[in-house]
Structure formats: structure tokens, C-alpha cells
Structure 1
Amino acid sequence: MTSLVTRAQIILLARTLHVPPERLAHLEKLGPDRLHELQERMSRTIFDEHAETFRRISRLVPFIPLSVSMPLIQRIVPPAMTGRAAGAVGADHPKKAAETVSLLGTSYAADCVPYIDPVTVGHLADGVPPQPLVQVVNEILRRHDYITVGPFLDYATPTLIEALELGARDDEGLIHASAYAYSATAVNAVVRQLLSGPSQRIPRLVRTVLAGPPDLQRAGLSIFARCEPEIIRAVGEVLFSVGSPPAIGTLITNAIRIGSVPDILTFTGNLSRQALGRMAGNPVFAEQGVMAAIVAALNGRTEPNYWRGFFALAARTSTEIQQRTVRLLAEMPDANVVDLPMRATESDGWPMLLQLIAVADPAVQQRFGTAWAGLSAERRAGLQWHIHEHHLDARLTAITEAAPTMSVEEVFFKRRQARRHLGAAGAGSGSADSWSPW
């Protein structure tokens, strides 16, 4: 999840608490998940405190004709109050909700949306024809209030998402709004509809991202990186069918400049084999600073999705770029180099990592061998197993000689010895004879 989602949660929490977002900036370190939980709890508390007031308003609905009350409300009731009451009233009177939306002016309704309890959006959408809601969304997008649309998408029904595909006219706005949605499930539902729906909007949206400014590209990458693997593969096919190598190269360099390397690596790690080859073959990776910036962005990062994309990308580049890349890995801090085998295990990247090291010069290989010589005997055995499994013994002698190991049988023997010494032969959840190469 990206910083865009974190920013959205800060702004939504600030709206809930009626304070400027700047006063809550220090909470960004909580991350999007904890911020979302905090915002939901605060919102729930406030709505619960006013529940009795909303119930009183709801009880009046059957007695006052909407044709009389709606024009009056729009003239004298602040949108904040109407928005907060809308959820409770709509839940109690779903048929009236549909009529209410049709009687409200689009502009006034758009003013109300930031104050509606997001949880009730799904209930309201179920009973309301989608077209008036799409008109409201279009008005909010016209105002560039993308963060308000994010929670709307989080709780949107399939029917509403279908209507948005056909009726939300602002491509850039839809991209920005989807990037601010908290729910990855909602993001996937939106992109899936845009892929398979009757309007087939993904090619147009991808062109919009490629031609757009860096902030739009950041939003697009954020969306695509949060999608499920099969959706990423489908979007990837579209990207390389409509995007020229220079346009995709610009997307990559902009991703580096705006801090979206994790997103583009996550996206890359789920591309089809053909699309991955076209990504790795982009001339931009021949530029001296590009792979250096990508490796620098991985410093201290442990997320498997990032490393999966990096290993897959680097292993498909030319030999010259691979040699440069593995040299950059060798220049990382000692702790990062020592942890590379763990990163390879967690990301299923062993074949790619070993391939990179195999094309390195002896001095670089020696750097890895020296760093990994300090691993535990069991992990050194795992390292040797991977090297042998991928038939790289002859090409990685600098590592196998620098990081001496013991046989698997010796690993078992040492483990049994240690357990007997500790008197814990029967303790633990694993078997004494179970072994993983890493």
C-alpha cells in the first residue's frame, strides 16, 4: 500500500475531527492500516453519539412530503448536517432514499458526500438508481476532490461500479480517486470492471497514464501495484500494446523520481513472461543511474513483492546491465548483503539472484562469499543446495569456497546433538528430521 492511501486516511481523519490535515501529519508514521482503523473508530463514535438525533429525523420522513422538504433543506440546512443524517435516513427508508437523490441538486449532493457515513454508501446505492449517483461522482471529480471519492469506491456495489465504468467521464479523475481508495478489494473490482466491461476503458486509461504528468503516473502505478496478479498481467499486456518504449521509459524514470519504485517493481514482478522481457529490454535500463536508483530504493526494504519484481527484472536485462546491477548489490551495506539470501527465499528469487551473481567478476563474487560465510551452518548448506540445484557450482566457486558448508547429514546430526544437549528432543512444533534448504 502506498503513501497515497496514507495521505487519504490522514485527510479523512482530519475531516472527521474537524481539524486541518497538517495537525495530524505526525500520525503518518502509523501507516495506512492503523490510520484507517483509527478513522473508522472515530467516525463510528461520532455517528453513534448522534444516533438518537438521526432517528428523530428519520421518524419525520414519512410525514413530510419530500417535494416539500428537499427544496427547504437545500436552502437552510448545511450539507454537513444533511450528509451525516443521510445514512441513517436512507437505511430506514430505502425507497425514500431513491426519491431523495433524484430531488437533490447535484451540486448540493456533492457537498454532502464528504460527511456521509461511508459504511452506509453500499446500503444507499442498493436502493438508488445508479445514474444520479454517477452524476454526483462526476461533479466531485470535476472539483478534483479525489479523496472524497475514495471511500465511495470502497463501499460501492457491483452495480454502481458498472455504472461508473460507463458514466464517469473524467479518466484522470477516476485514476486519482481509485488510488486513494483504501480497500484493495475495491481497487481490484474497479480495474476488473474497466478491463472486462463493455466500454473497455483500460487501454484509454493506460494511454492517459503514459501521457500524463508524474502525479498521475504515480496514481496509476499505485492502482496497478495493488491489483491481483492476473489483473496485473492483463494490464501489462495492454501497457506494452499501447505504450511505446520511450513512453514506458519515461514512466520508469518518473517512478524513480517520484518515489514509486516499490509500485513499479510489484507491477513488474507479476507481468507475463513476454511483457517482462519487453520491460527488461527497455533502453532506459542501459542508463547508468537507473538501476542504481532502483537498488538504492530497495535499501532496508523487505517486502517480497518488491524483491520479486527486482530479481525478475534484473535477470532479464542484458549481461552488461546484469553485471552492473550485481555490482550495485555487492556495494550495499553488509547487513543488506547478508540478508539477500532471505530476500531471495521470501520472493522465490533464488534462480534470478544466482544467475546475476554467476555473471559477476570474481571480486564481486568474493564479496558475496565473504558476507555469507558468517551465516549459520544450516543456511550455508541451504545456499550450497540452491547453487547445486541450479547447476551453477562451476560458475560460483568463489562463493562455495568462501562460504564453507557441511552436508545435510551433518546438519541433521548437529541439530540432534543440540536438542539432546538442551534436553528438548520432543519439544517444538517441527520435526528434528525436517529440513528446508533455506
Structure 2
Amino acid sequence: MSKQLPPISLPLSRRGLGLLAAGAASSLALGGSVFAQGKALTALGHRVHQTSATTGPAGDATEAWRKQAGASVNWVTFGDNNAIHERLLREVTLGETSIDVGYLLNGRAVPRNLRLFEPLDALMKDAPLEAPDDFAPGLIAPLKLDGALHGIPVRHATNALIYNEAILEERGVTKLPATFEELVELARKLTFKRDDGTQVQGLAFTAVFASNFLTLARCLGGDYMTPDGKLVAAEAPMVKALSTLADLYKAGVLPRNFATVNNEEITTWMQQGRAAMTINPFARLVTYNDPQKGKYGGRFKSLLPPMSADLAGKVAYAPTVEFWSLVIPKNAKQKPLSWDLIRALSSKAGTRTMALNGNGPTRISTYADPALMAAMPYAADEAAALKASRIHLPAFDEQARAHDIFIEETQAAILGIKPAQAAMDDAVKRVRPLLG
């Protein structure tokens, strides 16, 4: 199961101060590629994919490529992730498809699906990708199958801890937590009732995404599964993380409707000062800090959750990430031209343009761009987080079912329905048969 918000909610209001001028746009042109004039490609994705690629303060990331290739791009877009994948995965099973380039969310990039998309190695050999080592490594590994790369990451949402510094000041907090244990105590201190009767939650986040729980569990070295597919949910670090969250729920630090609260409600609580901290992608800072949406505009900051005292300085923290990739259906008819478009969009210039238009850039170097740094005060923090990021579960065909089982058992542990150890023992028992 994939987050309903991060893949599509990287805001269009990441305002870049500098635009891509003609010189920068011309660097998008991939010299040496010659295609017949009048060709057209069809790209399938979310509406925000088209918007970030073609509209915004930085201009159209496809313009130079279209002129150079003598081709056009027809966009087929949906506003729902499930609709995108239903259409895409149906198209790739046909004898041939009119879809030339598709956007694939990492939760759908499982072996069964990746086999339906063109391995890119041969295309990359004939027309190399610009600076392939510039992409965050945690976004490349999930796209490989049997040693071959099947997609190029172009948009991400990486989790952080977002806090309201005004509430910290209200509670007399002058120092950010340096360890996970200090973070837990901070969440307790930030849970209080104001004189007007307003209840403030120290921590609030949606309980239907594994990535949110792992954002905290990884502070203790905990995980549901390792990148190579080993089940570790029932081991001490994950059990301790869930036991800690169960204690916070019992103490009222987490909201009473923890299991059902959605991200829209979390956003409202944060903007109204009814929640002090949340787990959400860095990009949410733009929405939270909008002065038109609440009295705390400009007071929200990001923090990578700190490791536990016994692991600090010994184990690197791995933030959770969700991302979209560009793929080419195996049954597509214009693969060299499709690859040329992917090269343009994922080039340094293309990545920069889309980033200034609101896209989450998948190249680390993009975060050092002066215009992006001016538009995103948290750029350096997000770059560091992205570079160390890792997806919530490794890719396997039954990943979605496994995700739902982990969430069901996790909620049972936090709500006190089961002890954390029993819940994770049951999760492992239920997930193991899904691994094949």
C-alpha cells in the first residue's frame, strides 16, 4: 500500500526565484539524437506529473526536447494513483499499447510488474543517462530486477519530523532532541491543554502507512523487513518502538482517534496549533507555512528523528521515502524516442526545471542549486535525508498484502489490543507465506 498523499502532494508552491532561461533549457537538448519530424509520444501519469513537467515558474521541461526531437507529448492523466496504475498495468498486458512512457509508484514496482516494462540497459548503452550516480541510491535499487534497471526515478517524497517551533516556545523548550529518548519526552511535554480548553497533541500522524511507523522505528534500528527481504518485525528494536508508541497513546500524546485520523485532519491540526509535531514529507512544510492557512505561517521546521542514545554515532538513520519513476512498456512502439524523453526529463536541467515547478527532485545535486535553496529553506536537510533514504518494504509481488498485515498488527499493538511482541509475532507468521 502506498501513501495516498506524498506521491501526489509535493506542492506546486515550491516557488523558485530563478527560472530556467534559454541557456539552461538548451542544455536539455540531447545532442546527436535525430527522430522523424511529427512524432508524438503518449505519457501516462498523475495530473501533477504533467504540471511539474510543463507548467510553473521554471517553464516547460519538455520544450527543448520537443524542438530538438521534432516530437510532441500527449499527456493522459488521472487524479488518483490507483486509476493510473490500473490503466498502466492493463495497457502493458495487451498485444501493443499506445502508452509510450508511464509513471510508476515504487509500491507498484514489484517483480511481477517490472517484468512488463522495458529493461533500460541497452537503451542506456546507446544513449547514456546523464550522471547516473547523481540519483539517490535508495531510489535506484528498487527498480532493478535480475541486474537490469527498469525505471528512472523522477519524483520523491521523503519523510521528516515536522514541528511547530511556536509551540515549543510556548512550552519553554529551547533545545531540540538529540536522541530518540529525548524526542519521546519532548512529545510528552508538548501534550497539554491551553487555558482556553484547546487540547494540543504532542505527536499526530496517519496510522495507515508503514512508512510513518518506520520513520520512528528506524531510530531504534527497527524495521518490518530488511532490504534483502528478511522479516525482522518481531525482533527487539521494532517491538520496542511499538511499545513506546503504545505508551504514548495510553498517555494521550497520540490522539484518541489515532487509527482513523487522516492527513487532511493532521494538516488542519498543525495549522491551528492543535498538534505540535507530525510525520510527513518535507514538502508539507510549504502547506503548513502558508500564512493564509493559519496563524503559525513560517513557524514550522523539519527535523530528522534522532537515533536512540545507544545507536547515535554508530548506525546511520534511514528516512522512509516514496517515489515515482518513468518506465517504458515492453509492448510500446517508440522505445528509442521514449527513452530520449526520459533522458531529457531526468537530466540535471530537466530535474531542476521540475523541482522549481514543485517536483521532489531525485538528483542530489539539484538541492545545491541557488534558486532551489532560495525557494526551499529546508533543501539541505531534504538532500541529506534523500541520500540516506530507503523505501518502507522491499519489492516483492505480495508487498501490498504484507503492508496491510503489518499495519493491522501495528495498530493492534499501539491501541493496546495486543502486546507489541505478540502483534509482531503474528505479523511475521502471516507475512512469511507471502514471500514465496
- TM-score calculated relative to the size of structure 2: 0.22
Bigger helix fraction: 1
Higher relative contact order (CA 8 A, sep 6+): 2
Bigger strand fraction: 2
- TM-score calculated relative to the size of structure 1: 0.22
Larger Rg: 1
